[in-house]
């Protein structure tokens, strides 16, 4: 009897909380992705380092995400807007260029050294794309082979195309922009130093988060012919 009374009271409270005839709460689907403007032509594109960042993040003791970046790297892209799946990307990173905000004395050397990147033995990190799978008008899954710490493994990034243009007088080359995000486990690349015990966070996390923002410069701009007729 007591359970029946509690159930009745609960139902009464719920009925009072929503006016009669009011619709129940619904989860709205996100708006469909709309294509961004792009007049950039097909061709070969190189990285514009002044408008680019490559950031990595790792869990630290479960209290924060340690953030580092690479300052010396390059990328080349063969861009095909008519058939994005045919595009090809190659990235080369200098592991010695890793840095972070306010590092303790000697900390950067530890990240470059044998306990982590071992940059003296493995002087380049590279990524070569193997597949571009479109997931929307501006989005794709980019899969490639990541070579890190002497090992090569597949890694997939979620990529957003931010648009592009064919060039202008102040910027006489085509320009395109991308944002990308993904992750991999450093233990897959034989970098197990500082991993916390299973079920614990006391250490440096296994998952490495990748955050990329970049602009790339491509074929030279050809101004449209003047519409003014000679006298």
CB 133 within 8 A of CB 110: no
Among residues 181, 216, 229, the alpha carbon closest in space to that of 46 is found at 216
**CA distances, 119 to each of 42, 155, 169, 192 (Å):** 35, 21, 42, 16
d(CA 42, CA 79): 5
- Using one digit for the tens of pLDDT, what is the confidence trace for 41-88? 999 999 999 999 999 999 999 999 999 999 999 999 999 999 999 999
Q: How far is residue 107 CA from its own chain's centroid?
A: 25
CATH number for 43-220: choose from 3.40.50.300, 2.40.128.110, 2.102.10.10, 3.30.930.10.
Answer: 2.40.128.110
**3-class secondary structure, 10:** helix
The angle subtended at Cα 58 by Cα 55 and Cα 60, nearest 5°, is 135
Segments making up each domain of the chain, as ranges: 43-220
- Using one digit for the tens of pLDDT, what is the confidence trace for 108-146? 999 999 999 999 999 999 999 999 999 999 999 999 999
Mean pLDDT of 11-22: 46
In this prediction, residue 35 carries a pLDDT of 86
In this prediction, residue 144 carries a pLDDT of 98
DSSP letter for 172, please: -
Does the pLDDT of residue 13 top 50, yes or no?
A: no
Side-chain half-sphere exposure of 75, counting CA atoms within 13 A: 27
Select the more confidently predicted residue: 169 or 33: 169
Mean pLDDT of 189-215: 96
Strand partners, 147: 126, 152
Biggest CA-to-CA distance, the chain: 102
Q: How confident is the model at residue 11 (pLDDT cuts 50, 70, 90)?
A: very low
In this prediction, residue 16 carries a pLDDT of 44
- Using one digit for the tens of pLDDT, what is the confidence trace for 159-194? 999 999 999 999 999 999 999 999 999 999 999 999
Q: How confident is the model at residue 3 (pLDDT cuts 50, 70, 90)?
A: very low
In this prediction, residue 28 carries a pLDDT of 75
DSSP letter for 137, please: S
Q: How confident is the model at residue 2 (pLDDT cuts 50, 70, 90)?
A: very low
Question: How many residues appear in the chain?
Answer: 231
């Amino acid at each position: 009897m007591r359970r029946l009374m509690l159930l009745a009271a609960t139902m009464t409270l719920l009925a009072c909380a929503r006016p009669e005839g009011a619709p129940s709460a619904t989860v709205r689907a996100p708006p469909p992705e709309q294509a961004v403007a792009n007049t950039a032509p097909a061709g070969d594109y190189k990285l514009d380092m002044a408008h680019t960042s490559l950031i990595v993040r790792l869990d630290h003791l479960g209290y924060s995400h340690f953030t580092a970046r690479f300052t010396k790297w390059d990328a080349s892209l063969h861009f095909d807007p008519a058939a994005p799946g045919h595009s090809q990307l190659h990235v080369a990173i200098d592991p010695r260029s890793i840095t972070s905000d306010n590092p303790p004395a000697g900390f950067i050397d530890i990240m470059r050294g044998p306990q982590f990147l071992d940059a003296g033995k493995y002087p380049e990190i590279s990524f070569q794309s193997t597949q571009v799978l479109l997931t929307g008008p501006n989005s794709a899954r980019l899969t490639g082979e990541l070579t890190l710490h002497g090992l090569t493994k597949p890694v997939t990034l979620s990529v957003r195309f931010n648009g592009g243009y064919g060039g202008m007088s102040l910027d006489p080359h085509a320009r395109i922009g991308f944002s990308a995000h993904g992750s991999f486990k450093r233990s897959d690349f034989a970098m197990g130093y500082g991993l916390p015990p299973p079920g614990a966070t006391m250490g440096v996390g296994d998952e490495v988060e990748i955050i990329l923002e970049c602009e790339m410069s491509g074929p030279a701009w050809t101004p449209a012919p003047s519409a003014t007729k000679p006298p």
